[in-house]
Structure formats: structure tokens, C-alpha cells
Structure 1
Amino acid sequence: MKKLHLGVMALLCLPAFLKAQVTISGEWTRRHDGNIRLFRVEHGRLEEVAASKPGADSAFGFYYRPEREGFYVIGSGNPQTPQDKYTFYFKQNDQLNLKVTDTSYVLTGKNSAENQAVEKWHNTLLPLERKGVYFMQSRSTYADFFPLLEKIHQQAQQTKFASTGNRYFDAEFAKFREMDLFHVTAELLSTPRSAHPSAADYTPYFKSIDVPYYTTDTRLLRYPYGMRMMRTLQLMPARMGKGDVTDYSIEARMKGIVNDTLKGEVVLQQAAGLRTFLGYTDLDKQYGKYLLTRDQAFRAGSIKTELAKKATTAGGPAVNFTYPDVNGKQVSLSDFKGKVVLVDVWATWCGPCKGEIPHLKKLEKEMHGQDVLFLSVSVDEQKDHQKWKDFIASEELGGVQLFASGWSDIAKFYNIKGIPRFMVFDKKGNIVSTDAPRPSNKELKLLLENEAKK
């Protein structure tokens, strides 16, 4: 008989609550990071409950008293990713017996009707999961994924799941299957692939993806990867040609979100990308009313605290740099004391840099007449000097244009390892931010206006 290796954290509650335990016993014969973990679903993401180290015989197990009936996840690795993880359903006194193989899992021994239904669904979805979730192994693209998606979507609609006798599970399981199918699809769309679909490539399944349908309630918060798939859900209308796929503004991301708690999650997504305390204050003023739960307030508070720390540590003197302009004249950052200086570090070969140019031009026009100087520093190599000059002329770039001849002093001084990089310096030549928001983010304009008023 194989020895059951129990999750240490779960054992703590065993004596007093033995009758209410979920008992999990299994073998894990595939890769793992040293521990098999039991996760509960909290706010659309995974939180670890207990860990069990498999023995030499690959056995692992847990005794667990569930705080609530619902879906749980067993697996290994980073809780933020779905690889090497499997979803099950637990209520009090359940048993789960399984064996995890190189490619999937099988139930063994005694198991609940709910988990037998979950296994049936998992086997239906498995071919698609291998292409969508395990992208490094499959090398799949939309070209082979979309036809299989249509086949499995049709199969899922035709497959009947008998009542388990648990009305709550049956209702939740129907929603779970819809979200699970979209989840593996979202993984295909949001992970690195060698080819990407155009609006015309999307197949009939995508017409069934309705943002309001998924967001009228909090079902996404009860799904293990609800927050992971939410951004893909938000972008689906634009992907299919019903909006601007490059518009990441909070207004665009809120579109179609019905439930106010889910709107709070959108606010937190937006807040996580902020670079300044001013940006957080502006966001909170407009959308803070949607931070409704204690968990949302806690996460927002953490973001606010970190941004406040950055705001209070700014103010040190800038490290000066000097480069030639388009006419060969040597120009230094220190030449512009008395003005707020926005420095744009970029290159002609950098796609995201060029994507910011229309926004930069618009911002420069909007800031005209204020004490703000726009200074662009190209890190193109010397061999591309003429290409740089031609680009400035053809794109009619404004501001002061300098040529740094590659990753020279400016990159070393300000620890620049990727571009575009935007930096803001105040009128006294002190640092405001060495990693400022991009012009496509209105947060940058707020920052510049605030400094110009000082």
C-alpha cells in the first residue's frame, strides 16, 4: 500500500473536525517543483491552502476542512499560471482519489459524483487545453486551434451532464464549463505564438462571447483563473473589429462590464500599471467608488503605498548628459534648467517607441505655451545616423532631438535596459521620475502639468 503524504498545513485542523474533512489521496508522476499544492479560489485567482511533498512512491495527500463548498485546484508551480494544475469540486466529507500522469489525470477508487462530472468535462476539453495552456510544448497557433475549438464547442453543447443530486453544483458547473472553454481560448490569444489572427480569422464561437453575459454577476471571481482571463474578455470586441485593439484606457476596459465589483477589478488592473502617486489620486477620484470589497480595498492600499514611496524619494539631482542635435551642436540636459523637461529615450528600430510618437506629438501640442521642454534621445547606432535624421524629417518630429550613438552614458546613468523610456525632470534640474508613464497614458500629462505649475 502506498503511503499517504499529507499536506502539513491541512493536518493542523484534523483532530477537531475529522467528520467534516475532505480527504485527498493521489499519485503525481509528472513534473513538479517539489511540492503538490492545494489551492482555494479567491477573487478569481488561486491562494495556497496546503502543500504536500510527494514521497519516493509519488504519493501525496491532504486532509482539508473546506471553508465553503466550491471549486478547488490541485497542482504544482506558480499559482498565477494554469500549467500543471487541475480543478476539482469539494464539499464536506468528500473523497478524491486520483493519479496524475504526464499528460492529464485519472480518477481512481472512490470519488464524488461532482468530481466524476468534472473529470468527464476535463477529458472533453483536454485536446484544446494541450494547445492553449501548454503552448511551449504544443507550438499551436490560431490556424490549428480555431478549427478544434469549433469542434469541441459543438461537442460541449451536445454533451449531456446528468444531475449529480447537488443543485448548487449543477448550476455552478454549467457556468464553469462556459468559462473553462473561454479560459483555454484566452490562453491561446494571450500567450506567445508564431502567428496571430486578424479580425476576419475569428470563427463562430467568438460571436457567442458576450462581455455583459460574463460580467452581470461575480462568476469570474469564483473561477480559478477569472482575473487572468478577464483582460482577454475585455479585448474580444476590439479583436473582432468592434473597437481599437490598442486602446487600453480604463474607459475602454470598463465597456461592457456590468457588475460593480468586477468594475473594481478593472480599476485595480489599471492601478497596477500606474507609475506615479498623482496618477493613482486621479484614478481613485474617478473610479475609487468601485472598490467595494475588503480585498479590493487592501490591494488598492498596497498600490497606493508603493506609489507614495516613489513620490517621496524623487527629488534628487539629475545626472547630466550631452549629445549632438540634428545640426551637430552639443546639447546637455542641464541647458534647460528653468523648464520642466520630458526626456524620451527611443530608437528608429523600436516599434513601441514609434507607436508612442502620435501621442507624443499630441501631448507636445497640448502643452504648448507652458514651461515644458520635450527632449528626445535616440539610442540608434552610429551606422544609422542618417536614418535617424531622415526619420525626424519624414515624421516631422518636434522638440529637441539628440543622437546618443547606441547604449551610451544615458543608458548607464539611468539604468535603461529597455525602450521606450520616459523621464521627467523639474525646473531646478532635479529628478521627478526616471520611469515616467508613456504619452499614451494621460497620467504623463497630469505629471507635467503639475510640475509646470510649481
Structure 2
Amino acid sequence: MKKLLLLALAITAFSCNTEKKPNYVVISGKITNKLPTELSLNTQDRSFKELFNVAADGTFSDTLTVEAGSYILYDTKNPVFLYLEPGYNININYDTKDFQNSLAITGEGAPENNYLIEKINKTREIAGDNASLYNLSEQEYKDKQLAIKDSISVLLHKTKGVSKSFITKEENELQYAYLASLNIYERAHGYFTKDTNFKVSEDFLNDFEGFDYANDADYKASKSYKKIVADHYALKINKLVTNDSLSQDEAFFQVARSIPSEEIKNTFLFDVANQTIGRSKDIEAFYKNYMEASTNEENNTKITEKYNQLTAIAKGKPSPKFVDYENYNGGTTSLDDLKGKFVYIDVWATWCGPCKREIPFLKELEKGYHDKNIEFVSLSIDKVSDREKWRKMIESENLQGVQILADNDWKSQFVKDYQIQGIPRFILLDTEGNIVDANAPRPSDPKLGELLTELNI
């Protein structure tokens, strides 16, 4: 009997000592001074998004099942970069009027996440502004990036309470972040020095010699490694387009099929397809090639859903509608009000640099077609709360055409129906309100003039 009792106690002790960590995280906190219109937890690639309910006093709390990795808590203005692992129970507090200085994280997982806050601040402090950073010579730039890496490594090891597993992952990330910074130098230096022909020295990327582009574990764990791999294959795609005269889609699928790692191939396929299938000139062929190349059923289901939505806005289909959008000149405008004319819609925002670069070309276009059977509509997705910024830009730029403000920025139904994920976006409709081109050429593209001529406008 005594032996049985001792055995039972031993089993109990063993069970207590090996109790598994919860497979969920608890995230709570309080936002003071101004309640956000939306608060969400997102992955870096936006493949995961969970909305929080924020109470009237600014408090929020939720229990979520997530994989270990990097996330962003985002209130549509202030991003809180987080590292989460199952078992974490963290509390996040900040004042919207002084986000940078008031952000405070406590609880299980706080040491790792407070390190990330310090990491961001120290990196900014050492790197300085982008113009100064990317104007540096090759050696100066390398020295600066190594100084960032070394300083952050010191910070990591002196931060108390950080787990050993996190330190291992983060040291890996710091090395990959350094390498990723070398990858972008050529483009960034050329941009900031306005030297469009700039090329780095032959030995500038020697650190990449022997680099393994098929490390599944690092691809999943390190955002910088994933970026390096994506850049590597993007370069191959561009070379095929330039040297072999392949279309962007043809080059993409040829390169994707050549990726030796099944997991990396599937993720690369999905990431690119999720962002670009809507811009393909042949969505049917794109979807067919994607489904033949991808073996990830979950990803395939998501792309199929997107494909089904996109076929609803194919050429010749009735356009999704906007109804009673605020018009700069007063009153409201609906798409049906414009029937009888071709309609060229510019989806833009006052904060969008590429959108603003199209304005001079759009003005010229409007002048050239002012007496033709076409209406030019500029549909802003600025927040309704930023109405005055929108109105002031229309006035200062002397914008013409039909100037309207969407009812719910990115979440406006018209924007969602057209699967718009980036702006500017241009849409051309015929006189019956049917789609001519859901991804029409930009005003700066000579192909737009050719298209309008073909339509006898």
C-alpha cells in the first residue's frame, strides 16, 4: 500500500512539473484620450487579423490562439510591434496624444516586448533619417548597419527576463536584418542620390556567398530572412522579364515552380498571388497556373475565394456601385448618376504620394477630353474625419472633375468589391456602367490614350 501511495505521489508530482503551457495568449490594456475607430492584431503579411472590442473607457481584452511570432497591434494610427508566444498574458497601455513616450507593456511576455520597443527606438537613433542613411558610401553604410546590429545585440543580452529561446531567434533575426539592409542599399542609394544608374561594387554583397535560400525554419521564424528570399526570387523574375521577354505572370510562375522548398514555394506563391492576381491581365490563366503550382490547400481556398470575387469585376460585368458619396461641390453623387457617359475613376487619397504624382497627368487628360462623352471621377478614400484635408487639397491643386469622398475609407463597400489593396487605382466603365477595365492604365501611361481612342471617345 505504501508503495502504491508513493507511486501515486510521484505521478502527481511528475504531472504538475510537466504541465503544458496554454495554447493561447491573453492581450489586454487601455487606450486613453481618444478611442480608436478600430483596434486589431495583425501578422506582418496581413494574413491574420483579429479585431478587439474597445470599451467606452478605452479598455480591451481578448484571448487568442496564435502561433509564436511577430504581430502588430494597430489602432489605424499607432502600431505596437509585438512578439507573441502561447502562454503570454500581456497588458498594453498608451496615451494616443503621446504614444511614443506613454507606451507601457507589462505581464508575461513583457521583457521580450519591451526589448522590441527599445530596439525600434535605438535603431532609429543610430540610423537617423533615410536620406542621410542612404546617401552614405558603401563602406560607411555597412559600418552603420553593423553598428546597429551590434548595439541591438548588446541591448538584447542586457534586457532582464528575456527567454533563451527568444534570444536565439532574435540573434538570428539581427544577422538576417543586416543582410537584408545590404540588399536594399543599391535601390535606396540610387533613389536618394538621384543616380538612377548606380550599381554597388562587385564585392558589396560578398556576405551572401553560400547563403541558403531554402531554410524552412528561418523562413517561418524570421521576417528578414523571408524578405531576403522574396527579394532573391523577385530579382530572378525581373531578369526573366528583361532578358527573356516573358510577361510578369509567366516569369513569376516559372521562378516559383523552381523553388526547391515546398513550404517556401507555397508561401511565396500565395504572398505574390494574394497581392497581384487582381492586377493580372489574364486572371483565368493566373488562377489556373496558381492552382497547378500550389499544394497548400488552405492557401488555395483563400486564392479561390479571391478569384471568385475578381471574376465578378471582369470586363463586361456590371460595375459595383457607390451610393450617395459626398461631393465636394455639395450634395451627394452615386455611380448611377453618371450613366450615359464613360466613367474614369481615380481611387486616391491626400496622403498617397504616387496618387499625387498622377495629378498633373490627370489634369492634362481632363483638358483634352473636356468636351467628350467621358466623366472623370476622383474618389478619395481619406477618412471622413479628414474631410477638411481632402477639401483643402482639392482647392490648393485646383482639382477638376467629380470630386467625391468615400463613406468609409478602405472599408467602403465599393473599395472592397473592387478588391483594392493599393492606390492609386484606376477603373474605366462604359456608358451602361459596365466594366471596361478594372485596372485601367494610369493617366501618365500612354496606353490610356490608346484605350480611349479604341473606344472612340
Q: TM-score if structure 2 supplies the norm length?
A: 0.48
